[in-house]
Amino acid sequence: MKAQTYTLSRRKFLSTLTTAAITSPLLLDSTASVAAQNRKLNHACIGVGGMGWHDLQQFKQHSNVEIVAICDVDATHLKKAAEVLPNARTYTDWRELLQKEGKRIDSVNVTVPDHNHFAIAYRAIGEGKHVYCQKPMCHDVAEVRALTQAAVKAGVITQLGTQIASGKGDRTAVQWIKGGAIGKVKHAYLCSNRPAAIENYRLVGPRPAGGQTPPAHLNWDLWIGTAPMRPYSPEIYHPVKWRAWQDFGTGWSGDIGCHIFDAVWKGLGLKAPKTVVAQVQQAWQDSPERRGDTWPQGDHITWVFPGNELTEATELTLEWFDGAFYPPQQIQELFSGKEYPAESAMLIGTEGALLIPHGGMPVLLPENKFKDYKLAELSERNHYHHFVEACLGGEKTESHFAQSGPMTEAILLGTVALRVPGKVLEWDSDKMKFPNDAQANQYLNRSYRKGWQVGRF
Ligand SMILES: NC(=O)c1ccc[n+]([C@@H]2O[C@H](COP(=O)([O-])OP(=O)(O)OC[C@H]3O[C@@H](n4cnc5c(N)ncnc54)[C@H](O)[C@@H]3O)[C@@H](O)[C@H]2O)c1
């Protein structure tokens, strides 16, 4: 399909972005009402390999969902999905899917590498579709702001792919934080020290000077999409390993941050940070080649957020650790004698501490002090099905963009800080810039490849 261009000047694009416009989403628009009346959601899956295969299964399991169209740039993934969905129409190009499916679809899920989230989700929202978009919502801060605003303005149903946020564990943690179980919160420590991640997909580079002909089953031009073109090379981009590269992924904190932040962000009702600063793997910092192309294999990012009635002070410091950076030993020891969860959040309060292991139930510490603390009665909830039901007229989704957009922005500000290590960046959220660092401002958005400029509003 011929590349279609959606142009919007950089100045106009940025001028549409202000926090003030991000309020709560409207409930239903006319498109949703049609789906609600029919009690059937006609859905399209964009990206059906990797996490996309999981997402497809989740949507398929809902009795009110009809997956009518599927799209993937890799014919092997598309074929596998078509075998379980023989009636779904198949596409290689998501633009063609959106154009041809038109009114035949109500919703899409966007489960492709991060660099193409915005283009697909923004265009789908522009067409009035409900959108389930994988985390992190977008590749860049400015994209998140624009997508959040577009979703709110269009009144469509949205859900960020933070499926753990709907689980009992995270929802319990949110209740405990809001209810003041550990008193006023003094400090937060978040981490993702996932074993084997470095060997498996946090590659060091450099990328090979030349390239190879892509395999016949892969449309490399469409895989690249909005990013700068580069020669195809096996084993380092598609699948999964694109995460290592700045053009495609969002660094370790961008990759996992939305999961680990979610309960903390929601529980504390955090707003845009005041400052952010990063310390990174020394070998990466010392290598101009690596700094220009890949993400560090280890990060320690510190945000200072405005405090509120749930925090002890007028500011709250939140630290993130990944790779070889770990939360301080004395913090880990609060989980007395037990193995500290590799991916978790720990909140230190005036009356105790709260540990939220990723995907598990939260623990109040010291355990003895809180042994009689009552668990809230919460029902199980499926993040995907909650989205479907919202599209059919049900209650608001857990991670709609008005909720998860500002959180994703804060996380991606950390990703910007990685690129200027050691600099304390002051953030002006309304103006969408760092008044004290022109270099960092360059990393808030990017130029799209010719023919792939995005933006219609
Ligand atoms: N929520 C979670 O727990 C979770 C877990 C893993 C991945 N993810 C997210 O899911 C997304 C995909 O990650 P992954 O690990 O599955 O990557 P992957 O590379 O394994 O799979 C991506 C899939 O999308 C297809 N694809 C790539 N570009 C496409 C395009 N332009 N149009 C259509 N299809 C395209 C690929 O062929 C492949 O089938 C990422 O945003 C990632 O952050 C979320």
Domain hosting 75: range is 10-165+383-400
Q: Supply 261's token pair.
A: 């932040």
CB 344 within 8 A of CB 190: yes
pLDDT tier at 195 (50, 70, 90 boundaries)? Answer: confident
Same domain, 35 and 161: yes
The pLDDT assigned to 375 comes to 76
Nearest protein Cα to ligand 1, atom 27: 112
What does the alpha-carbon distance between residue 164 and residue 192 come to, in Å, rounded to a whole number? 15
Question: Is residue 372 assigned to a domain?
Answer: no
Distances (CA, A) of 70 to 41, 60, 61, 81, 408: 14, 12, 16, 8, 27
Q: Is 165 in the pocket of ligand 1 (CB under 6 A)?
A: no
What does the alpha-carbon distance between residue 363 and residue 337 come to, in Å, rounded to a whole number? 14
Number of folded domains in the chain? 2
Question: Is residue 117 assigned to a domain?
Answer: yes
Q: Which tens digits make up the pLDDT trace of 211-225?
A: 999 999 999 999 999
Q: Position 235: which residue type?
A: E
pLDDT tier at 37 (50, 70, 90 boundaries)? Answer: low
Q: Read off the CATH number of the domain in which 331 is found.
A: 3.30.360
What does the alpha-carbon distance between residue 311 and residue 296 come to, in Å, rounded to a whole number? 32
Q: Residue 83 pLDDT > 90, yes or no?
A: yes
The pLDDT assigned to 131 comes to 98
Same domain, 46 and 132: yes
Same domain, 283 and 389: no
Average pLDDT over residues 390-409: 97
Q: Residue 376 pLDDT > 90, yes or no?
A: no
Same domain, 244 and 351: yes
The rounded Å distance from CA 450 to ligand 1 centre is: 23
Same domain, 38 and 187: no
The rounded Å distance from CA 210 to ligand 1 centre is: 25
The pLDDT assigned to 260 comes to 98
Pairing of strands 299-306, 315-322: antiparallel
The rounded Å distance from CA 139 to ligand 1 centre is: 13
What does the alpha-carbon distance between residue 245 and residue 115 come to, in Å, rounded to a whole number? 10
The pLDDT assigned to 185 comes to 98
Same domain, 104 and 240: no
CB 301 within 8 A of CB 253: yes
Same domain, 317 and 327: yes
pLDDT tier at 455 (50, 70, 90 boundaries)? Answer: low
Question: Is residue 151 assigned to a domain?
Answer: yes
CB 315 within 8 A of CB 274: yes
In 269-306, where does DSSP find H-type helix? 282-285, 288-293
Same domain, 52 and 99: yes
The pLDDT assigned to 86 comes to 98
Q: Which of 96, 134, 404 to mutate to test the pocket of ligand 1 (most atoms within 8 A of CB)?
A: 134
Nearest protein Cα to ligand 1, atom 6: 51
Q: Is 144 in the pocket of ligand 1 (CB under 6 A)?
A: no
Question: Is residue 433 assigned to a domain?
Answer: no
| Final residue belonging to a domain, choices 365, 392, 412 | 365
The rounded Å distance from CA 49 to ligand 1 centre is: 7
Mean pLDDT of the chain: 92
Question: Is residue 181 assigned to a domain?
Answer: yes
Question: Is residue 409 assigned to a domain?
Answer: no
Average pLDDT over residues 3-18: 35
The pLDDT assigned to 35 comes to 62
Q: Which tens digits make up the pLDDT trace of 46-71?
A: 999 999 999 999 999 999 999 999 99
Same domain, 33 and 116: yes
Q: Read off the CATH number of the domain in which 76 is found.
A: 3.40.50.720
Instruction: Give me the long-range contacts of 415-418 (CB less than 8 A, separation at least 24).
Output: 415/250, 415/251, 415/253, 415/254, 415/443, 416/141, 416/276, 416/440, 416/443, 416/444, 417/276, 417/277, 417/278, 417/301, 418/251, 418/253, 418/278, 418/280, 418/295, 418/296, 418/299, 418/301
Same domain, 389 and 335: no
pLDDT tier at 377 (50, 70, 90 boundaries)? Answer: confident
The rounded Å distance from CA 183 to ligand 1 centre is: 40
Same domain, 395 and 280: no
User: How buried is 313 (Cβ within 10 angstroms: 0-12 exposed, 13-18 middle, 19+ buried)?
Assistant: exposed
Q: Which tens digits make up the pLDDT trace of 322-374?
A: 999 999 999 999 998 799 999 999 999 999 999 999 999 999 999 999 999 98
Question: Is residue 441 assigned to a domain?
Answer: no
**Beta-carbon count within 10 A of 228 CB:** 12
If you write DSSP's letter for every residue of 44-60 in order, what string do you get? EEE--STHHHHHHHHHH
Question: Is residue 64 assigned to a domain?
Answer: yes
Q: Is 225 in the pocket of ligand 1 (CB under 6 A)?
A: yes
Average pLDDT over residues 10-27: 34
